[in-house]
Chain A
Amino acid sequence: MANPELKADPTAARMAAIAAPEAAAWSGAARDAAKARVRDMGLPQRRDEYWKYTRPDTLVQPDAPHAALFHNDEGPLFAELDRLKIVFVDGVFDADASDDLEMAGVRIDRLAERADIHWAAELYGTLEADGHYVPRPLAALNTAYASDGVLIHVTGKAEKPINFIYLHQDETSDVILHHLIKLDAGAEMTLLETGPAAARFNKCMEVDVADGASFHHVRAQGRDHERRAVTHSFARLGAESAFKSFTLTVNGRLTRNESVITLTGDDAIAHVAGACVGDGEFHHDDTVFVTHDAVGCESRQVFKKVLRNGAVGVFQGKILVKEGAQKTDGYQISQSLLLDDDSQFLAKPELEIYADDVACSHGSTSGAIDEEALFYLRSRGVPESEATDLLTLAFLAEAVEEIEDETLRDAIVERLQGWLERHRS
């Protein structure tokens, strides 16, 4: 590196390496504030407590590490489904491959379009800025430098799901996207996200769910073996609203998914779930922070990981119940199925409670395949590999069942089955 000062300061080096996007004027102030936050916090380093189990180096270094493209004969996910497609190729919007951005019940714009959008100006960077109970500098970096993203204002019941499709064609692409989703009172929408996106992908999503609205989210992170990703979902929930999110992760050298959800209205519901399967060089980190700041809210965190050949899984999950958030019902479970002795699961479940009338439970386990069950299945004629797959899917079921829509759930299960069949020992 030419400039010795940049070498000494990884944060400055990273910021200097990003080409400043041609940003809309309305986002300028928010981006400047975010840059200041990044400088204040500094990008994550190995010694940071919040990055104890996941090395941030490759997410922070100025250029994206090379990631070979990966192909197999699986077709695109949700291909049979009636949905509105919005396609990005290495972070660049592909108008030809995308559907018209028009649909009853929603208004869709793009961050890169630079039109003056009042609600977006109010939301952009706001939930991210509020979400730093612990520093999340990579989210602030995203707010500061996002090159594009989708802005969705949901005013009624969205006619069909919206599918962000992230294609990856450039082995060194370094992509920053920032989405905003605002649901008016009583509005409903389902968001699907699929694809590997980039060699290195930094994605941030801010979701504002008004009273009585509901947001469903199903994501399948791409199967490219060498890609890296850090994603943040920030959500604010009004009274009697619902936020339900499920993520499937197969493959990927490094994935860190953070969910930061604040229940601000009474009787709101937040469910965050994830299933991941990793074989070999795979590091997957789910970091979840749910804040109960209203009465009678329910939150669930359900995370299951299947790890083999030295794959590593991390779960850091917190439930914070603020003073006055009575009748809180909080549930958190994180479990791993270790298919060999080389794989590891690191979990840090946390509860912090300042109200006295709450029910919060949490549990975390690591285990191997149940030998008794395996023998039982084999004694009925099911071959060992197939029996192992059945038991593995059964282990993942609690997380996958968090997907309420049966069609989406079946599509996810089919992906998992395919992966397991390809990764039999």
Chain B
Amino acid sequence: MLNIKDLHVELEEEGKQILKGVDLEVDAGKVHAIMGPNGSGKSTLSYVLSGRDGYAVTGGSATLAGEDLLELEPEERAAAGLFLAFQYPVEIPGVGNMTFLRTAVNAQRKARGEDEVSAADFLKLIRERAKALKIDADMLKRPVNVGFSGGEKKRNEILQMAMLEPKMCILDETDSGLDVDAMKLVADGVNALRGEGRGFLVITHYQRLLDHIKPDVVHIMADGRIVKTGGPELALEVENNGYADILAEVA
């Protein structure tokens, strides 16, 4: 599904190298987790894949279902099936949450040559999916993320994911700023979307999210590279011993 080969990335303005040869392959239907200390390049990887400005790819490749992601505009990547759940979802005053989602869903369908969803069908679907995430009608009407709590913002990200039905979901520290109940709600939302051949890349500092979203594969990232790959037990090792041991082992 997602194939990343020897990806090298630097910050455009400073020329500072952040990713120094990332290799990663996420198969359809699998959940991969990336863990790693601060500054290891985890979030940069998610931004580069989604097409944010400010990064220069200096080598390597990234494809989604065979399509070269790095050649595409951010909206084209989304239409190709990539979704990034933001670590810090952006507040957009003046744009209603519902309007935003319907615009996004229909823009993607249009880009793929599909018919737009009717207003009635959309409303029915979003109500159903919002209910599962405990997002009420008021949150749907309010401007995108404006005045939302940390938990509400993250639930709203998962709602977008549920509505857009991407092939490949990247969750960038979706657990940050969440209490235990909110984390469970978010995890349930993600788990409901597992299967159907959908791939997940879950970026997190902590093992606790992975108690709820059980990964198939865990990667440790450090200094711009994936330094170790293993099963779910690798996450437990990090939780118990920290990164130091693992980093010493691979150094």
Please list the residues of chain A having a beta carbon within 8 angstroms of any beta carbon in chain B: 370-373, 375-384, 386-387, 390-391, 393-395, 397-398
Contacting pair B89 A378 (CB below 8 A): no
A-contacting residues, B111-149, CB 8 Å: 111, 143-144
B87 at the interface (CB under 8 A from A): no
* Bound Cα distance from A372 to B74, whole angstroms: 13
Pairs across A and B, CB under 8 Å, 12 listed: A376-B144, A379-B52, A379-B77, A380-B101, A381-B79, A381-B164, A383-B75, A383-B107, A390-B99, A390-B103, A394-B143, A395-B94
Q: Nearest 7 A-B pairs (CB), nearest first?
A: A394-B94, A381-B78, A381-B108, A380-B104, A378-B74, A376-B90, A397-B94
Sorting the interface of chain B by its residue count into under 10, 10 to 19, 20 to 34 or 35 or more gives 20 to 34
* Bound Cα distance from A380 to B80, whole angstroms: 11
A-contacting residues, B70-85, CB 8 Å: 73-75, 77-79, 84
Q: Which B residues are CB-close (under 8 A) to A370?
A: 92
Which of B52, B90, B111 is within 8 Å of A381, CB to CB? B111
Q: When A and B form their complex, what is the total count of cross-chain residue pairs whose Cβ atoms lie within 8 Å?
A: 78
Contacting pair A376 B92 (CB below 8 A): yes
* Bound Cα distance from A390 to B103, whole angstroms: 9
User: How distant is A136 from chain B, measured CB to nearest CB, in Å?
Assistant: 34
Given A373-B90, A386-B103, do A379 and B78 touch, yes or no (CB 8 Å)?
Answer: yes
Contacting pair B89 A376 (CB below 8 A): yes
Please list the residues of chain B having a beta carbon within 8 angstroms of any beta carbon in chain A: 50-53, 73-75, 77-79, 84, 86, 89-95, 99-101, 103-105, 107-108, 111, 143-144, 160, 164
Name the residue of chain A whose CB is nearest to the CB of B161. Answer: A380
Contacting pair A384 B84 (CB below 8 A): no
* Bound Cα distance from A375 to B93, whole angstroms: 15
Q: Which B residues are CB-close (under 8 A) to A381?
A: 75, 78-79, 104-105, 107-108, 111, 164
Name the residue of chain A whose CB is nearest to the CB of B89. Answer: A376
Q: Which A residues are CB-close (under 8 A) to B53?
A: 371, 375
Contacting pair B93 A394 (CB below 8 A): yes
Name the residue of chain A whose CB is nearest to the CB of B90. Answer: A376
Name the residue of chain A whose CB is nearest to the CB of B111. Answer: A381
* Bound Cα distance from A346 to B60, whole angstroms: 49
Q: Which B residues are CB-close (under 8 A) to A387?
A: 75
Contacting pair A373 B84 (CB below 8 A): no
Which of B77, B92, B164 is within 8 Å of A377, CB to CB? B92
Given A371-B53, A375-B74, do A382 and B89 touch, yes or no (CB 8 Å)?
Answer: no
Contacting pair B75 A378 (CB below 8 A): yes
Contacting pair B92 A382 (CB below 8 A): no
Contacting pair B92 A394 (CB below 8 A): yes
Contacting pair A379 B50 (CB below 8 A): yes
Given A372-B90, A373-B90, A383-B107, do A378 and B78 touch, yes or no (CB 8 Å)?
Answer: yes
Q: Which B residues are CB-close (under 8 A) to A382?
A: 75, 100, 103-104, 107
User: How distant is B6 from chain A, measured CB to nearest CB, in Å?
Assistant: 25
Contacting pair B78 A373 (CB below 8 A): no
* Most B CB within 10 A of own CB, among A372, A382, A384, A391: A382
* Bound Cα distance from A380 to B111, whole angstroms: 12
Contacting pair B73 A378 (CB below 8 A): yes
Given A379-B51, A381-B164, A386-B103, do A394 and B95 touch, yes or no (CB 8 Å)?
Answer: yes
Q: Which A residues are CB-close (under 8 A) to B105?
A: 381
Given A383-B107, A395-B94, do A377 and B100 touch, yes or no (CB 8 Å)?
Answer: yes
Name the residue of chain B whose CB is nearest to the CB of A401. Answer: B94
* Bound Cα distance from A386 to B103, whole angstroms: 9
Q: Which A residues are CB-close (under 8 A) to B73?
A: 378, 383-384
Contacting pair B78 A390 (CB below 8 A): no
Contacting pair A380 B164 (CB below 8 A): yes
Name the residue of chain A whose CB is nearest to the CB of B93. Answer: A394
Contacting pair B75 A391 (CB below 8 A): no
* Bound Cα distance from A370 to B90, whole angstroms: 10
User: How distant is A154 from chain B, measured CB to nearest CB, in Å?
Assistant: 34
* Most B CB within 10 A of own CB, among A377, A380, A393: A380
Name the residue of chain A whose CB is nearest to the CB of B92. Answer: A373
* Bound Cα distance from A386 to B79, whole angstroms: 15
User: How distant is A10 from chain B, measured CB to nearest CB, in Å?
Assistant: 44
Name the residue of chain B whose CB is nearest to the CB of A378. Answer: B74
Q: Which A residues are CB-close (under 8 A) to B164?
A: 380-381
User: How distant is B82 from chain A, measured CB to nearest CB, in Å?
Assistant: 9
Q: Which B residues are CB-close (under 8 A) to A376?
A: 86, 89-90, 92, 144
* Bound Cα distance from A395 to B92, whole angstroms: 10
Contacting pair A377 B94 (CB below 8 A): no
* Bound Cα distance from A154 to B129, whole angstroms: 52
Given A379-B51, A395-B94, do A390 and B100 touch, yes or no (CB 8 Å)?
Answer: yes
User: How distant is B140 from chain A, measured CB to nearest CB, in Å?
Assistant: 15
Name the residue of chain B whose CB is nearest to the CB of A387. Answer: B75
* Most B CB within 10 A of own CB, among A371, A381, A384: A381
Contacting pair B93 A384 (CB below 8 A): no
Given A380-B78, A381-B79, do A393 and B107 touch, yes or no (CB 8 Å)?
Answer: no
User: How distant is A374 from chain B, measured CB to nearest CB, in Å?
Assistant: 9
* Bound Cα distance from A398 to B144, whole angstroms: 16
Beyond contacts A378-B51, A379-B52, A380-B78: 14 other A-B pairs, Cβ-Cβ < 8 A, are: A370-B92, A371-B53, A373-B90, A375-B52, A380-B104, A380-B160, A381-B75, A381-B111, A382-B107, A383-B73, A383-B107, A391-B95, A395-B94, A397-B94
Q: Which B residues are CB-close (under 8 A) to A386?
A: 103, 107
* Most A CB within 10 A of own CB, among B74, B79, B95: B74
